[in-house]
Amino acid sequence: MEVVDKKGVTIQTGWATVSHDKFLNEIVKGFKHIRVGVIGCKEPFACTYFKVSKKEVIDIVRMNQCKVRFSIMFNSKVQTHLEDVLYINELKMTIL
């Protein structure tokens, strides 16, 4: 489910799952801020997000060839001085 502002501009994407190739070649390149979710926290926060290094995320996804479940928050469309954030909710290893 996408979040759309009053002008019809998408400010947040819904959750999507992509292969490691698509994530590394298309999605992660345009982001400086990446946050990774930890599920199972106490209410009212079912999920807590932590800022992580872009290099670490790239290395983990490349090494494990993970499928990545992510969402994007387009903060720059809300306020131009803010930067967009990539939220990662799940990494699923495809090789062992």
| pLDDT tens digits, one per residue of 40-60 | 777 777 778 899 999 999 999
Residue 96: count other Cβ atoms within 10 Å of its Cβ: 4
Report the alpha-carbon distance of residue 19 to residue 2 in Å, rounded: 21
22-38 per-position pLDDT tens digit: 999 999 988 999 999 88
> The pTM is what?
0.84
